[in-house]
Amino acid sequence: MKAFWIMIAALAVLTVAICLPNRNSEKRLVPGQRTVSNLASPNTPIQAIQDAPPTKSTALATTRTADGLAIEPAKATPQPSPAPSQPNSQIQPDDDMKALAADLIGSYDARPDTEKGDLNAELGAGLPPPPPASKPDSKQATTKKDGPPDVKIEHKPDGSLLLDDRFVVRGAGTEKDPYRITWELLVSAEATYAPHQDMFEMPSRISFLNGKHIRISGFLFTATYRAGTSELLVMRNMWDGCCIGKPPTSYDAIEVSLKQPLTSEDLAIANFGTLDGVLKVDPFVKDSWLLGLYVVENGRVYVGDF
């Protein structure tokens, strides 16, 4: 039993020896912290210490003296000064902001033009100047017209017409005075209009004749040589339908339907004649092949020389 009490006493002495030096050391408080030991002397009531307002500028430290506790202000810890901010002039707009500003400048604004100028000036600040507008190339600026150009018509002193500086046409294009055309003029369409060669440009000089009264001389071919024939071909070259002559093409033959059928006398005279009628330019294409081009309806044929 004695040994038990001896151990209790030893522990008490050891506890006093450890705690006493810690109480004599200085204690530093952070600003605004309130405790019983650093706010008042030993004679200050505890309730008054709790009700005391916190201090903002000075922290208190306590020191034990022979007369009791001494309260003195603690030295303020210096605070690091904030880093100076960069001036706004050094802040450059990034690429996204430049693109956004360009879009806003070009966007629609319903305000008056006087106010739009201020907005454009603000948004365009800091942006690089636009590149100078390049002059268009004269070769690329030329607009290509669709289809053939207009036919060139020159009026000669004798009253005839010169088409495209190549083909002479006489007459007025009326029923009483039809245009007297040549086979060279009709065949010239082959140069630019050939569907089987993927050429579909009809010359304007041929289109000019469409719907006009024309007169042309050529060889006659009918399917049957009998009286009452009202359909025939007027051709540039002679052809008997078999072995003699040169077969016609769509460019050097005209399909004719007659107003008055041919008589047996007409067929017996000759296989050559002159056609009068309204020319119709009517391409007939089958499987990319041109089977017919010129048609005259209700025409009249004068057999023999005219």
Q: DSSP per residue over 254-303, as a string? A: EEEEESSPPPHHHHHH-SEEEEEEEEEEEEEEETTEEEEEEEEEEEEEEE
Q: Which of 73, 105, 120 is the last residue of a domain?
A: 73
Q: Which of 20, 50, 73 is the last residue of a domain?
A: 73
Same domain, 178 and 69: no
Is 219 exposed, middle or buried (CB count within 10 Å of its CB: 0-12, 13-18, 19+)?
buried
Which residue type sits at 18? Answer: I
CA nearest 294: which of 306, 278, 305? 278
pLDDT surpassing 60 at residue 9: yes
pLDDT surpassing 50 at residue 40: no
Strand order through the sheet with 153-155: 153-155, 161-163, 167-169
CATH number, domain containing residue 270: 2.40.50.870
Domain-embedded: residue 69: yes
Q: Is residue 22 very low, low, confident or very high in pLDDT (cuts 50, 70, 90)?
A: low
Domain-embedded: residue 243: yes
Measured CA to CA, the distance from residue 191 to residue 204 in angstroms comes to 12
Measured CA to CA, the distance from residue 2 to residue 4 in angstroms comes to 5
Half-sphere exposure of 279 (CA within 13 A, CB side): 27
Domain-embedded: residue 286: yes
Query: Structural domain tally of the chain?
Result: 2
Question: How confident is the model at residue 46, as a pLDDT?
Answer: 47
Question: How confident is the model at residue 21, as a pLDDT?
Answer: 58
Question: How confident is the model at residue 162, as a pLDDT?
Answer: 96
183 contacts: CB under 8 Å, gap ≥ 6 = 216, 218, 236, 252
Residue 64: which domain range? 2-73
Q: Each residue of 207-228: pLDDT tens digit?
A: 999 999 999 999 999 887 777 8
- Cβ neighbours, 10 Å, residue 256: 22
Q: Which of 23, 39, 73 is the last residue of a domain?
A: 73
Domain-embedded: residue 227: yes
Domain-embedded: residue 162: no
Domain-embedded: residue 216: yes
Rg, Å, the chain Cα set: 59
Token pair belonging to 285? 């294409």
Q: What is the pTM of this model?
A: 0.52
Domain-embedded: residue 142: no
Domain-embedded: residue 87: no
pLDDT surpassing 80 at residue 166: yes
Q: What is the DSSP letter of 79?
A: P
296 alpha carbon, distance to own chain's centre: 49
Question: How confident is the model at residue 274, as a pLDDT?
Answer: 96
